[in-house]
Amino acid sequence: MQPIVFEKSPMTLAEFSSINWLMLRKKIGYLIIFPIIVLLSFVVTTCNMVVGMKSDDTTYPMDSESIMTMLGGALFVGFIYYSYRKAIKKNYLNTPALSEGLNYTLTEELIQTQSSTINGSQPWAASFKTANKVGKWILLPSSGNAFFFLDTEKILPPSTMSDVEELFNRKGVKLKK
């Protein structure tokens, strides 16, 4: 088999951010927390309003506790969103290989990476069980929370996407779309 070469493809902050948000959405457990917090704040507010009503009163009182609970829930969700956005940007800016782009060469034995700042190789590992296709990118986990970002539009001929899929099948990597 001849090597499959991915040409250098810089990633923009917008692309990196979009990929991160899509990957977070796939981890549904994290997303369930946000609606629960907002729902809980509205339940507490509604309980405060009902308990605060008098039997002959037709208005719903909004006391300071109710307002603070709603505001606190909204601020907490906003803080989590802002923190995650800030972490994505920091991660992007601290990883120059993303904005510069890497050349990837996939062989039967190794995954090689090359740029002006990085030159390395990694053998195919048992940890490469799944790869995610997000838009034009294939995210292949390399180690920990790091990924190889393979741009499917930058596969150099004579290789094609079907060659990549065949290699993944031989290596036992499932490509999730």
pLDDT score recorded for residue 4? 96
d(CA 84, CA 97): 21
Show the tokens assigned to 157. 């001929």
Contact 31, 25 (CB under 8 A): yes
Q: Which run of H or E residues covers position 102?
A: none
pLDDT score recorded for residue 10? 93
| CATH number of the domain that residue 135 is part of | 2.30.29
Q: Does one domain contain both 101 and 89?
A: no
Domain stops at, among 62, 93, 124: 93
- Residue 161 three-state SS: helix
d(CA 153, CA 9): 9
Contact 121, 114 (CB under 8 A): no
Show the tokens assigned to 30. 């994290």
Contact 31, 23 (CB under 8 A): no
Q: Does one domain contain both 119 and 59?
A: no
Phi and psi torsions of 131, nearest 5°: -130, 145
Domain stops at, among 34, 58, 93: 93
Q: Tokens 């719903």 map to which residue?
A: 60
> Domain limits at 140?
4-11+97-176
pTM strictly above 0.75: no
Q: Does one domain contain both 104 and 167?
A: yes
Q: What is the total count of domains within the chain?
A: 2
d(CA 164, CA 154): 12
Q: Tokens 């951010």 map to which residue?
A: 17
Domain stops at, among 49, 70, 93: 93
Show the tokens assigned to 20. 């991160």
Q: Return the ∠ at Cα 52 (arms to 46 and 55), rounded to 5°.
A: 110
What are the per-10-residue average pLDDT scores of the chain (177 residues)?
92 93 72 72 70 55 66 80 92 91 94 89 83 92 84 96 95 91
pLDDT score recorded for residue 139? 93
Q: Does one domain contain both 101 and 50?
A: no
